[in-house]
Each structure stands twice: as C-alpha cells, then as structure tokens.
Structure 1
Amino acid sequence: MITFRFKNTYFFSVFLLLFIFISCSNGRKIDTDTKEINNNKEDNLISKKILVDDIITGADQSFKYLNLIKNKKIAIVANQTSVVTFKVTSSKGDGKSEIHLVDFLNKLNINISKVFSPEHGFRGTADAAELVSNGKDTKTGLPIISLYGKNKKPTQEQLENVETVIFDIQDVGVRFYTYLSTLHYVMEACAEKGIPVIVLDRPNPNGHYIDGPVLEIEHTSFVGKHPVPVVYGMTIGEYAKMINGENWLESGLKCDLTVIPLENYTHNSEYHLSIRPSPNLPNDKSINLYPSLGFFEGTIINAGRGTEFQFQRYGAPFFPENEFQYTPQPNFGSKYPKHNGKLCNGVDLSNEKKLSELNLEYLIDAYNKTPKNEKFFGSTFTIHAGNTKLQKQIEKGLSIKEIKTSWQKDLEKFKKIREKYLIYD
C-alpha cells in the first residue's frame, strides 16, 4: 500500500505519486459527447490505495485531469473546500492529510494564472451576502478575483490568456445555495470565449431526496437561477451537465465541459464533510436541516446565526416563552445576526432525526408563533421559495399536505429532466 509520512518526505512522496499518475494516465478514453472520464480497474486500484474515504472525489483522482491541464494556463474556481486528500502514516497510525487544490497544483508547477472565489471568499470566512473584494492569496501570491457582488460573472478580460478553467467547490444540494449560480456564470463566460471547463465532482450530502417548490422563471435571481426544486438530488457535476443540456446558458451557448466523476458514490451514500462548505454550515446536522430552515433567511426569524448551532435551531424574542432560549451574538460568519443580543425563545433541532424530505413544520410553526403586528415575511422570501405561492399558502393556513400536493406536478416533470444527466445511481 502506498503511504505518506509527515516530515520531510511528504512532498517528495507527492511528486513521486504524481509521476506515477501521469505515467498511468496515457491513453485514457474520453466520452466525446459529455467528455466524462471513463473509469477502469487500474484507476480504481490506484485510487483505493491512496485515499482514505470509500467515496473518492474528482479532485482526489488527479491522474484523470493532470494531462488535461499540462502545459496550459489555467484558472481555478475554488474555496476552502477545494482540497486533495491523501492517506498518511505517522507514529500515531494511519490518517489522512488534505492539501488545497491550488497549493497542490502550484507545487507541481502547473501554470495557474488566477483564482476565482465565490460567495464567502477563497478561504470561506466572509458572511452571507458580505462583499468579497479582489486580492492576492498570501500563501501563493496568486491574484484572487471575487465572483460575488457586482462581478458575479468572469469578464472576458479576466479570462484573457486562460486556456482551461477548473471548478472545484463543495455544494450542499440546495437551490438557494449560490455556488450553483457561480457555476452557471463561469460556464457561460467560458462558453463565450471558447474555454474548456473541468468540474471536479463532489458528493451531495442532500442527494438522497428531491423536494420543494420548483423555481418559477420570473423569480430568477442569484439565489436561484434555474427551474429546479429546492432540493434537486444531483451532484455539482451532474448539475453542470444539466445546465449545458437544458440550454440554460445565455443564447443557448454550450460549454466545453468535462466532469471528473466520483468513485464509489450513489445518491444515497452517507458522506461527512470535514470542512465547512460555508461559515454557517458547521456540521452534518446543519447541512441536513438547511433546505428546510433556509426559508427563514427571508423572514424575521433567527435560524441560529450568531450561535454555534447555525441552522439547528430557530427562534425570536416575541415567541411564547419556553424552556429553550438563546441569545444571538456576533461570531464567525455572522457579524449582524437577526435579533442580535436579544433573548430568543426558540426550538432546538440539534437532535432531530435525519431528514429525507423538506420539512415545513418549522416554517409554519414559526409563522403561527409570530404576533400579527410583526411582519413575518421579508422581501427575499419569494426568491428563496422561488414563487409567491408558498407565502400565500402559509398565510391562508393550508396544511403541509395541501402545500406539498401543489408541488407534485412540477416535481415529476423535473425528475424526468434530471434523469438525462445522472452519472450515479
């Protein structure tokens, strides 16, 4: 078994391993329609010897993409989740080591010209909706261009002299998570300039179900660009194929797309994210509850921001007094939480069972607990819901069953579209 040791031999081993990867990668077949890399037994054996997790990400299979970027000027769309994982051996036993994709390729002298960063920034420390400025990575000296704020789409000037773009960001499978919009704009800008895009696929921790209202086109925004349900059950690689195949890019453009697929993954696979995909999703529980509690972003209700249990609780000062109380305070990822410094009566969901459907109980419960003199729904609720119907349905007192029944026709239509782009069972 190939292992690495900490200390001075670490990067020598990395380089030696990559030499093996490059040698083994000659002659790999590529599907010319979708340009997905075909797998073979040799690849699987190499991967399993090197990586810790049974599920192997696209980034971890560097032998499948190094030849695609060799001797080319590349740009990378990345954040803190863009890591390559190796198995390591130390005096304390076997473990794993993670190195950022940018650092990994930089040490291999791959010609990286710049890094594009999404919402929350390259290192993932900015608040939701906080302006992220352009800058320079202190570790590598590479220029960082923000794709959040006014500049959501790479300009043709920013893509000048770029020959290939790598997109590697961990998604959580929720329509209003803005990394999908960043993917769309990157693909569109590259299609306009004829630049190939390589998506390094990663698991969807909410990939085991499909649920929620499908976005209506008139409510398209950066918080939701496509007619998909809140939870769509696809990986970022599969989603990229759908963007291309459904002609969602401007003027029906097609992106020159290559997806580096996962190994040993199905949509029902359990997968633990070792790195926060964004500042306010600290653990698996918050990620699982996020599709249901994300609606609170468009309301007056605090959903745990300003605590250490983001998206694992909800509350407000005006809720009826009960045993569970908390006080939001500025913290990592939330400088100005709702009801900052005020004692909130709330509901603790940190021990809730894993959800396999969108749960509207929380939203309806909060609405019913809010006094009529308080404005429950905010201006952004519609863009999170993707329609105006959900707000009206809740205000009219429709049951959860009645609301969910109204989604079914659109969900069935989406599922048929989704099937065309699936890479995994």
Structure 2
Amino acid sequence: MVIQPELRRHWWVALVAFAVAAAVTVTIALSQSPSVAKPLDWPASRPTVAASQPGLKIGVAYGDTLPFLSDQALASALDDAVALGAKWVRVDLSWEDIQPDSPDRYQWQRFDRVAEAAQKRGLQILAVVGYTPPWARPSTCRNDQACAPADPAAFAAFAHKAAARYSAMGVHTWEIWNEENILFWKPKPDPVGYTRLLKLTAAAVRSADGQATVVMGGLAAVSADSKAPRIPQDRFLAAVARLGGTKVVDAVAYHPYTYPYLPSARTTFGTAFEKISSTSDSLVSVLTEYGTPDLPIWLTETGAPTNGPGAASDGVHIPPDTTHVTEAFQAAIAADTVPAAAANPHVAAVFWFADQDTGTDRTDPAAFFGLRRIDGTAKPSFAALKNAITTYEESLTGRSWVK
C-alpha cells in the first residue's frame, strides 16, 4: 500500500505521541514492579452496552491508502478483510482527496471504487471524514491537511453530500475526524473548535441519511506534555462532553495502542486499554460524569509496528529505547486484541491497523503496522488475528447477535 506523503508525516506525529507514552509507561513499570502485567479473564458471555450495539464489530483500518490503489491491489486488500473474518473496514474519506482544487469540483470516483468493492464483498464501511483541502484552510494554517477548516459549516456541507451519495452504496457509519486531540488537528488541538464541527457535521450527516451512525473522532491515547501540543484523551473528551458534543454522537472512538504490552495486561500504571474503563481517568468515568455512561466506545485503531529506529520488545524484555515489537509479539498482541475488546462491556467495535506495511524506512515506525510485509507476505499476526476472530465468532454460536 501507499500512504500519501502528507499523511505519512501525520502518522509520524501520532507515532511520536504513542512512543513517548510507551516510554513513560516502561519507565514507571520498571521502577515500580518486576511483574506488572497479568492477563484479564475473558468471560463466557459478553454483556452489551445497549440493545442497539449487539456483539463486537470487528474490522481492519486502512487509513487513506485504498482510494489510491490499483483495482488489483484494492481487491487484494479487501480480500484480506474477508479472509480474516472481519465484517468491517475503516477507510478515510478525505475532503482533500475529493475536492483537492476547488469548492466546485468533486472527484468522487476515488472513493466510489472503494465503496463498490466493499459492498461487493459484504463488508461494511466505517468512513472517516476529515482533512482539509488547501482552499478551505484558514490563513493561519495553510500547509497541512490536518489544519482545522476555516469554516466548519463548509466541512459539514461536504459530509452531507458524502452521506447522501454513499448511503445508496450501504455506507451509513461515519467517524468525524481522526485523533483531534493531537496534531491531526492544527495548529493545535481545540475541543471548542472540534465540538462546533462535530455538532454541525453530525446534524448534516443525519439530514442526508436517516440510518446514519455518527462516531466521535478516534482519540489518541496520550499523556500530558507541556512541550507538545496535545491533550490527554480523557481531558479532551471531558471538554467536548461539557459542550454537549457527546450528546450528538452514537459512539466515541478511541485508539488504544498498548505495545510493548498486551491489550489485556493489568498494570500498576494503566495501559491505554485499561484507560477505557479501569482507571480513575478512564473514558467511561468521563462519560458517566457527563450523563452518557452507556455511550459505546469503538476502538477504531489498535495494533503494533514490527520495525522502527529503536529496539524491539518481545513482550518479555522491554529495552529502554523500544519503538516497536518483534513479529512474534505482534502476533501475540493480535491474538489478544479481540478477546480483550470483547471482555469489556463498554467496547462495541475493534479495528486492527493495518493490513500491509507501506515502506521499508526504519526511521518511520508508521510504515510497519501491517499484518503483511511490504512484499505482500503474511506476518504471523495475520493467522493470529484470523484465529482470534474465528474463536470469537464460534463463541457466539447459538446466539442471535447480528453484525
């Protein structure tokens, strides 16, 4: 797969945030306890958050790669989701991709191919609507598609057109922006500005499609850092909730990358997975405080890179300069992700990022999150995730849950 150059830079920003969070985690863990992690139990039956959220939705996240693939490569990428047993795919529907040059011209064909190919395979799409074309950026933020739109109403109008067009192709689920609590929202994260855009866009999407499900943009799991323009996920969510943003969505998205630990790990410091509902600063505690305790949480990205500029963790040894994991430990993380998500009654969906590596540059860990290597060969994680999905589906035998 090919990630557009500008998006590659954004992924690097996100990965820096994740790496810093992981480094803090490692330091605290090693200083407090020689044995910080133990597995969670996977209950025999999985309670649901609400009747409208039956079972666990399982998917693969592709970022902004699919619209730019050849027909053959697109088919191969989506065939992977089918082979894994996933029923969902998460794909960027970038405003910049569709209207790169003008407010008057649309290049829908870039996403039409994706929607048609997914529909042909029975895959449901979680469309991430975001990213600002140059002509729609404010004068104070010109050189980056992560710039917040100068006019959020213009963004909402684009989302309305997209929802109207793709509802006819079976696309009814929309995630509004991506990692808005870090530098995927520039010039700096702004809960007030994001909430304004979220409210306008949620209303616009629903006016175009009465069946629409609206998901708040995936929050990056980060700690506070006075030197970096980012807001921890719980604080950002609280700010949006105070402004009424959580009352206009059907779910909240979150990106709990836990490497170099398993998703099910119980620790003394709180991994990103634990911060869903098991810590004092959890997302669920925020939702409860602001009157939406049953709002489902969708894990729209999680995974682990298998290469990078530093050292690799094998899950037992965690070098101080860890930036990635071994392929064997990535497989262990993939095997653990589905049962860990299923064990949490607040989690309604989980998406693995990504399908295939996008490069060979070791300075860019974002290029190595794939279940497949850049040459197309499968890493051990492919079979591990497939087996985890199969096991989960078999555990539902005899039940009436519908994906």
> Normalized against structure 2, the TM-score is what?
0.31
Structure holding more helix per residue: 2
Of the two, which has the highest radius of gyration? 1
